[in-house]
Structure 1
Amino acid sequence: MGESNFDKKGFFFFLKFTALIFVLFFSVKYGPRLADSNLIIATNGGPQKEAQIAGLVALKRYDETKKTYSAPKRLTLGFVGDIMLDRGIKSSVEKYGNSDYIFPFEKVKNYLNSFDILFGNLEGPISDRGTLAGSIYSFRMNPRSAKSLKEAGFGILSVANNHIGDWGRTAMKDTFQNLNNAGIIYSGGGNNKEEAYEVKKITAGDTKIAYLAFSEFGKGYLEAGENTAGIAIISDEKLKSGIEKAKAENDIVIVSFHFGDEYKKEPNAYQKSVAHKAIDYGADLVVGHHPHVVEPIEVYKDKYIAYSLGNFVFDQHFSKETMEGVALKATVENKKITEVSSDKIVINKHYQPELETNSSE
């Protein structure tokens, strides 16, 4: 058989040359489109090989670190009404809830935990100490309830109300400590005046939210002193300075008031005046407590005022209105409140709040 004249070196040179011509043609014809595309080109030759290819064709590498999202982060802020875990609620917890204070919140726990931040009014002290102030309408909640409030979803509570001092300042100070131990921020009260009027700040994502709480009631006997535990009392000076300070350092300012007339379905002139001033001074949302019934939601200068959210966990079963409330939802986008809505709450015979659509009664 004769010797083959096949030139292997020449053949492989021809293949390489042909491949190079093809790549050059491909680069000229399609390179600009590749440069503007999201095409991912993968090689097994490492960075050096990719660099060589990039010299011939436009190679756009996929860089995860440069991904951007046009959709803004949405936050939901939740607000509920008066919370009292003594008296009838305590009896219900012991009888039906195995003495676990999560029992009052079982019907709405998932709903409450859907909010990024949840706020409510704590109507009384959390303590097992103190001296009864004398009123027959006095509340004191089991220290174990603080942990249950946290489990239920509460991140911040107002203590600026007329019942926080029902068992004296010892129980009041216990309340601050018990909430702190449970990881719940309290607003509108403190171990001294500075703390009571302090702006409470929560950062969610890149949005800074400030909370202030004040009470119409308690001046002269519940107001915090320089070195005395107490609450924040409404005054034009404190309201204006507090909101302006909060506004300068935060994106959104929430103001809570414990004000108005019990069992009245409409806000009085004082409520309207104070709430309007809060908006004028820079508040983005005002929520109210104390009447124990729901009062209207008003839009003032494009800001929302919920004059009373009614009861949330309470045992005032003497009327339909006192066994109802609303949960307010404020949607935040691009560091602004863009929408406010509400869900009706009904309190069942075991003093558990339920969403009206899920109510068994």
Structure 2
Amino acid sequence: MPIKLMCAGDLMTGENVHHYHRGIVTKFRGRYNDLIAENVREIIGQSDYLLLNFEASLVPDEMIDSLSIERGVYVAPLESLELLKSLNTGIILNVANNHFGQHGKDSAGYTIEKLIQAGFLVTGIDNQPVTINREGINLSVWGCSLVKDRHYDGSYFRSGYETLVNDLKLPEKKQDDIWILSIHWGEEYYTQQNDAQQHLAEKLGSAGFDYIIGHHPHVIQPVSKIGDTTVLYSHGNFIFDQNFSSLTQMGLVSQISPEDGIIELFFSQQEGYRVSRLTPTDEAGVEKFCRKNFHRRKPLFMRLRMKLELLYRFHELNRAIIGTFTSRLFRK
């Protein structure tokens, strides 16, 4: 039976600076499994593997409450892994992204250790793929990030638009090989890919990649075919505490059957951080959605909405959040 790989976007089961002590950890502690609705679980269970961009680091459960806002953002307790363990499918996690490594090498190393102990496949640590061998087919998944990262210390595989193909040091591709790249790239909040993404996608296709699985913009971007390569420029958010906009609460989920070239697409919907449903769509539906929601000033509008959410929910804010954003106002 052909292998089925389901791909989704960013998974961040911690809290960002806007939601410190009022977001996912606070609301779902002890019940992380509730973050994915049963009807969504049933669809995920039809795949052999689920590929996600793991955009957090982990700490022991008892530590989470004691972390300052500087150390406690983009951090999830170990118990959050029960969500992934409860899914009836294998899990592949890309850790090559700017938030995974932001708390240093020790934190990243601890997280990788716990992910592997949980039985997950982890890619993006370096330029080597994880490979699944099934019925004569070799499915290899690489992970990389092209996003600027002021905290970067070598905790994951990071490259550049001009150097990635060389940095991957790809082997000779064989007839039974299927190559997939999980790539952190693009510009936040734009629902269209940029020229750099498109040009790199062409080079990656020429290098042998069959599927390019994009993430980082936090919104959906189009799906296209470049030669024999299927490019999903951005899957957007799967689970992320960006509840300030309907665009950041929608994601793209793709189910790929690499051996026969079939791909199914779904829009995912978060409600109260919870993935409540998957709605079937197609390439044309994704393109229409992306065109409708594109504006060249969209990043500015989205960041304004982010701050307005703080004002609207001011009654939920704690001293740490208020202090952080007050200090930013007076920072030179």
Q: TM-score range by the shorter chain?
A: 0.7 to 0.9
1:139 aligns with 2:79: no
Q: What's the counterpart of residue 251 of structure 2?
A: 325
Closer/same/farther in 2, CA of residues 187 and 218 from structure 1, 3 Å limit: farther
Q: Which has the higher contact order (CA 8 A, sep 6+)?
A: 2
Closer/same/farther in 2, CA of residues 323 and 136 from structure 1, 3 Å limit: farther
Q: CA deviation at 1:315?
A: 1.7
Letter of the 1:81 counterpart: G
Q: CA deviation at 1:157?
A: 0.7
Q: What's the counterpart of residue 53 of structure 1?
A: none
Pairs within 5 Å for 1:114-153: 114-128=46-60, 138-152=73-87, 153=89
Is the radius of gyration larger for structure 1 or structure 2?
1
Aligned mates of 2:90, 2:132 — CA distance in 1: 13
Closer/same/farther in 2, CA of residues 350 and 223 from structure 1, 3 Å limit: closer
Is contact 1:328–1:340 with CA below 8 Å preserved after alignment?
yes
Identify the match of residue 342 of structure 1 among 254, 259, 265. Answer: 265
Which piece of structure 1 moves more, 337-346 or 123-132? 123-132
Aligned mates of 1:148, 1:310 — CA distance in 2: 20
Identify the match of residue 158 of structure 1 among 71, 85, 94. Answer: 94
In the alignment of these two chains, the number of paired residues is: 268
Aligned mates of 1:103, 1:308 — CA distance in 2: 25
Aligned mates of 1:133, 1:252 — CA distance in 2: 44
1:271 aligns with 2:197: yes
Give the structure with the higher percent strand. Answer: 2
Normalized against structure 2, the TM-score is what?
0.73
1:202 aligns with 2:132: yes
Q: CA deviation at 1:168?
A: 1.9
Q: What's the counterpart of residue 101 of structure 1?
A: 32
Aligned mates of 1:272, 1:219 — CA distance in 2: 22
Q: CA deviation at 1:230?
A: 3.2
Letter of the 2:112 counterpart: F
Closer/same/farther in 2, CA of residues 243 and 249 from structure 1, 3 Å limit: farther
Q: What's the counterpart of residue 296 of structure 2?
A: none
Once the two structures are superposed, residues 336-359 of structure 1 have per-residue CA deviations (whole angstroms, 9 ceiling, x without a partner) of 3412220111111243342137xx
Q: What's the counterpart of residue 181 of structure 1?
A: 117
List runs of 5+ in structure 1 lacking aligned partners. Answer: 1-72, 190-195
Is contact 2:9–2:235 with CA below 8 Å preserved after alignment?
yes
Q: CA deviation at 1:248?
A: 4.2
Aligned mates of 2:94, 2:256 — CA distance in 1: 18
Q: What's the counterpart of residue 172 of structure 1?
A: 108
Q: CA deviation at 1:280?
A: 1.1
Letter of the 1:206 counterpart: G
List runs of 5+ in structure 2 lacking aligned partners. Answer: 16-22, 281-332
Pairs within 5 Å for 1:224-263: 224=154, 229-234=155-160, 236-240=162-166, 242=168, 244-245=170-171, 247-248=173-174, 251-263=177-189
Is contact 1:287–1:306 with CA below 8 Å preserved after alignment?
yes
Q: What's the counterpart of residue 351 of structure 1?
A: 274
Query: 3-state SS of the aligned residue for 2:171?
Result: helix
Is contact 2:250–2:270 with CA below 8 Å preserved after alignment?
yes
Is contact 1:92–1:351 with CA below 8 Å preserved after alignment?
no
Q: CA deviation at 1:140?
A: 0.3
Is contact 1:254–1:283 with CA below 8 Å preserved after alignment?
yes
Is contact 2:36–2:274 with CA below 8 Å preserved after alignment?
no
